[in-house]
């Protein structure tokens, strides 16, 4: 099936999506990521999507994009910062969508910060809502606290939601449960936990709670594992 979509979690909030022939990396944090042994020179990318400027999200974007010539997609501020480093970019902003060969990608709000590693202004942080060419809808929340407009995002009909549950920097397990109730996804993958002690969580216990209190199914991946949609 040419349009098969494969989501892979590399640990923390580093992900990839293979949509048909397109290889997407999202928040490619490999160097210094305690959750993966994969090196940035081992990954391929046609597109790199960046939710916000923090080091554990912009990660190895510059080196990977230089090697692969991937198109970097982010908000206007981060796109300008990457363009100044000689990378190919496409700037979008929150609420705006654009059609790519891998589908229609919209930037969603996120409640968080977005300073870049050198202190540059990184604009507002974002999440991604992707509708693939065969109409699968994937929501990657990025780093965020709970917000009521997740209800509006949920109204679009989500097949897979990828949500932070680590607490401290983002939603913790309780607010992530409330997020699932607003988003109403068919499936949920928890991320942004267990990278460091300060965000230690039990994803299996969270799965039990979600599946008891909502209609959503939780898929707990180990770093490096994939889900085919
Ligand atoms: Ni962050
Ligand atoms: Mn983070």
Residues 183-205 have pLDDT tens digits of 999 999 999 999 999 999 999 99
Distance 87 CA to ligand 2 centre (A): 23
Bridge partners (DSSP) of residue 23 are 18
Helices of type H across 13-134: 55-58, 61-68, 76-83
**Which ligand gives the minimal distance to the CA of 110?**
1
pTM, to two decimals: 0.98
Task: Starting from the CA of residue 54, give the closest ligand.
Answer: 1
User: Which ligand is nearest to the Cα of residue 195, counting in written order?
Assistant: 2
User: In this model, does residue 177 exceed pLDDT 60?
Assistant: yes
Ligand nearest to the CA of 111: 1
Taking the CA atoms of the chain, what radius of gyration do you get in angstroms?
A: 16
* Overall average pLDDT of the 54-62 stretch: 98
Cα separation, 1 vs 6, in Å, equals 12
Burial class (CB in 10 A: 0-12, 13-18, 19+), 33: buried
pLDDT at 84: 98
82 Cα: distance to centroid of ligand 1 (angstroms):
18
- In this prediction, residue 205 carries a pLDDT of 98
Determine the distance separating the centroid of ligand 2 and the alpha carbon of 9, expressed in angstroms. 14
Find the mean pLDDT for residues 176-189: 98
Instruction: Assign 2 a pLDDT band (cuts: 50, 70, 90).
Output: low
Least distant ligand from the CA of 112: 1
Dist. CA 77 → ligand 2 center (Å): 18
| Residue 3 confidence class, pLDDT cut points 50, 70, 90 | confident
Asked if the model's pLDDT at residue 101 lies above 60, the reply is yes
| Separation of first and last alpha carbons in the chain | 11
CA of 169 to the centre of ligand 1 (A): 7
Distance 1 CA to ligand 2 centre (A): 34
CA of 134 to the centre of ligand 1 (A): 31
What is the token pair recorded at 33? 């990521």
Kindly give the distance from the C-alpha atom of residue 120 to the centroid of ligand 2, in angstroms, as a whole number.
17
The ligand with the least distance to the CA atom of 29 is 2
């Amino acid at each position: 099936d040419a349009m098969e979509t494969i989501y892979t979690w590399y640990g923390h909030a580093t992900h990839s999506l293979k949509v048909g022939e397109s290889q997407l990396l999202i928040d490619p944090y490999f160097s210094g990521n305690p959750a993966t042994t994969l090196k940035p020179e081992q990954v391929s990318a046609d597109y790199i999507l960046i939710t916000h400027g923090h080091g554990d999200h912009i990660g190895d974007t510059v080196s990977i994009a230089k090697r692969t010539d991937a198109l970097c997609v982010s908000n206007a501020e981060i796109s300008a910062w990457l363009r100044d480093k000689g990378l190919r970019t496409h700037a979008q902003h929150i609420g705006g969508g654009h059609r790519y060969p891998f589908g229609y990608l919209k930037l969603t709000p996120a409640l968080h910060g977005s300073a870049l590693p050198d202190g540059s202004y990184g604009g507002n942080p974002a999440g991604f809502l992707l509708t693939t060419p065969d109409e699968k809808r994937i929501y990657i929340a990025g780093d965020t606290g709970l917000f009521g407009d997740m209800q509006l995002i949920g109204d679009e009909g989500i097949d897979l939601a990828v949500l932070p549950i680590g607490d401290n920097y983002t939603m913790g397990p309780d607010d992530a449960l409330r997020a699932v109730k607003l988003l109403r996804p068919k499936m949920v993958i928890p991320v942004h936990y267990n990278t460091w002690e300060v965000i230690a969580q039990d994803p299996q216990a969270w799965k039990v709670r979600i599946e008891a209190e909502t209609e959503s199914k939780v898929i707990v991946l180990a770093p490096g594992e994939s889900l085919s949609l």
